[in-house]
Amino acid sequence: MRIYEVFLKADGKEEFRHAGSIEAPTDELALVLARENYTRRAEGTHMWVVDRENICVSEEGFIDANLNKSHRHNDGERVAEWRKSQRNKKSNG
Amino acid sequence: MVKSVLSSAIKEYLLAFADDEHLMGQQHTEWIGIAPFLEEDMAFASIGQDELGHASMLYAFILEGSPEIDAFIFNRKPEEWRSCQLVESNHQNWEEALIRHWCYDMAEDLRWELFRESSLPELVLISERALKEEKYHRRHADALVENLLTVSASKSRLMQALEKIVPEVLELFSSIPGETEAISSGLVSGKYCDKLPTWRSRVENRFGTLDPKLFTTSDYQARTKRHLDFAPLYGRIREVFLLDPKAVW
């Protein structure tokens, strides 16, 4: 048995989303079993099943946050404050 | 729909199909929780629910809009059922349940195909809906069987089950009450047993050539005699209904 990850995409502009996983011995069985296990209530219009072995996994720490570059974590609050003060200045003066 | 458009012979003919679908669905769904692995457990019961859905469409059609569908199904006497032995027999081995699923679904689309150009448009729609699902039932059954046939221990169990099930399938094809009138009225395009060679070639393409004697058994019950397993099965089906037969669900 192999483990497959199941992804579903709803109709329209929705992206594929992870729905869960499934155990199956072959690709064809993974497809038919995923169909019965994950799509019985019209959860999507497209499905991918991906053998977990074929997923490239980054090692631990590979994508940890870079703590010394705070400018990359700007939430826009300071800019919004500055713009608000500029607006107020204009309307007051 | 206008009352009593359907003759009693036509109703008998459709009832045989509805009862087969109902009991096949029931048998499959009883594997919930005990099928060999979780994914298959869910899939098998889900396919069973599809068959129950087909039965429900046919019963509604036969009863021509009557709201008494549940009462009709659950209050019938055993001799009023028109199901075949294949769907009444209780196969408790997984290999037999799987082979029956394979055999039944390889025969079911051939049966729905007969309605494709039916004189009654509603039946054409019902058959189209069913055929859409049947495609996946066959893929499911065939993918499992194909995989298991590669393991010699599994193969011998499957082959043994097949020899037991094939004679029951012959009755499914051959003894449908009301068939003559169903054909002459344009309800269906032909005799179901004419599809038997197609079914047989599907079987032999998948499992190899079988003993021809398997295909000549003719001990048909004509769908009027119930299998010994019917009574307990009917008991399980009616268990909840009988708690309060007047309840509205």
* Total Cβ atoms within 10 A of residue B12: 19
Using alpha carbons only, what angle is made at residue B159 by residues A25 and B167, rounded to the nearest 5 degrees? 125
* Total Cβ atoms within 10 A of residue A8: 19
Nearest to B144 among A1, A22, A29 (CB): A29
**Which whole number is the average pLDDT over B145-150?**
97
Strand partners, A8: A17, A47
**Which whole number is the average pLDDT over B118-131?**
96
The whole-number pLDDT of residue B123 equals 97
Q: Is the pLDDT of residue B3 over 60?
A: no
Check CB contact of A50 with chain B, cutoff 8 Å: no
DSSP secondary structure code for residue A12 in this structure: T
Q: Is the pLDDT of residue B9 over 70?
A: yes
The lowest-confidence range among A15-19, B14-18, B216-220 is B216-220
Q: Which residue has the higher pLDDT, A65 or B111?
A: B111
Strand partners, A51: A4
A2-9/A46-51 β-pairing: antiparallel
Question: What confidence category does residue B218 fall into, taking pLDDT thresholds of 50, 70 and 90?
Answer: low
Nearest CA in chain A to B145: A29
Check CB contact of A20 with chain B, cutoff 8 Å: no
The CATH number assigned to the domain with range A2-92 reads 3.10.20.520
The whole-number pLDDT of residue B221 equals 64
Question: What confidence category does residue B219 fall into, taking pLDDT thresholds of 50, 70 and 90?
Answer: low
Domain ranges of chain A: 2-92
**What tens digit of pLDDT does each residue of A21-61 get?**
999 999 999 999 999 999 988 889 999 999 999 999 999 99
> How far B40 CA lies from chain A's nearest CA (Å)?
7
Instruction: Give the full edge-to-edge strand order of the sheet including A16-24.
Output: A16-24, A2-9, A46-51
**Which whole number is the average pLDDT over B29-52?**
94
The whole-number pLDDT of residue B220 equals 67
Check CB contact of A47 with chain B, cutoff 8 Å: no
Residues of chain A neighbouring B48 (CB-CB closer than 8 A): none
Q: Is the pLDDT of residue A7 over 80?
A: yes
Question: What confidence category does residue B83 fall into, taking pLDDT thresholds of 50, 70 and 90?
Answer: very high
Q: Which residues contact B50 (CB under 8 A, 6 or more apart)?
A: B25, B133, B137
**Which whole number is the average pLDDT over B139-163?**
97
User: Assign residue A3 a region: left if phi > 0, alpha if psi is -120 to 50, beta otherwise?
Assistant: beta
The whole-number pLDDT of residue B246 equals 82
Check CB contact of A29 with chain B, cutoff 8 Å: yes
Interchain CB contacts (distance < 8 Å): A and B: 38
* Total Cβ atoms within 10 A of residue B168: 20
Residue B65 CA: distances (Å) to CA of A40, A85, B2, B69, B75: 27, 71, 9, 9, 18
Do the Cβ atoms of B140 and B172 come closer than 8 Å?
no
Residue B15 CA: distances (Å) to CA of A89, B52, B168, B179: 83, 13, 19, 11
Interatomic CA distance for residues B222 and B79, integer angstroms: 11
**Contact flag A36-B140 (C-beta cutoff 8 Å):** yes
User: Among candidates B205, B229, B186, B195, which has minimal Cα distance to B84?
Assistant: B229
Chain B residues within 8 A (CB-CB) of chain A?
A: 37-40, 42-43, 46-47, 136, 139-140, 143-144, 147
The whole-number pLDDT of residue B2 equals 44
The pTM is what?
A: 0.89
Q: Is the pLDDT of residue B1 over 50?
A: no
Residue A42 CA: distances (Å) to CA of A46, B139, B199: 10, 19, 32
Q: Which residues contact B145 (CB under 8 A, 6 or more apart)?
A: B98, B99, B102, B158, B206
**What tens digit of pLDDT does each residue of A54-76 get?**
999 999 999 887 777 777 777 78
A9, containing H or E segment? strand A2-9
Residues of chain A neighbouring B139 (CB-CB closer than 8 A): 28, 31-32
DSSP B110-134: HHHHTTTT-SSHHHHHHHHHHHHHH
Q: Is the pLDDT of residue B190 over 80?
A: yes
Question: What confidence category does residue B4 fall into, taking pLDDT thresholds of 50, 70 and 90?
Answer: low
Do the Cβ atoms of B175 and B220 come closer than 8 Å?
yes
**Which whole number is the average pLDDT over B226-247?**
92
**Which whole number is the average pLDDT over B87-94?**
94
- CATH topology for B8-243 is Ferritin (1.20.1260)
Residues of chain A neighbouring B144 (CB-CB closer than 8 A): 29
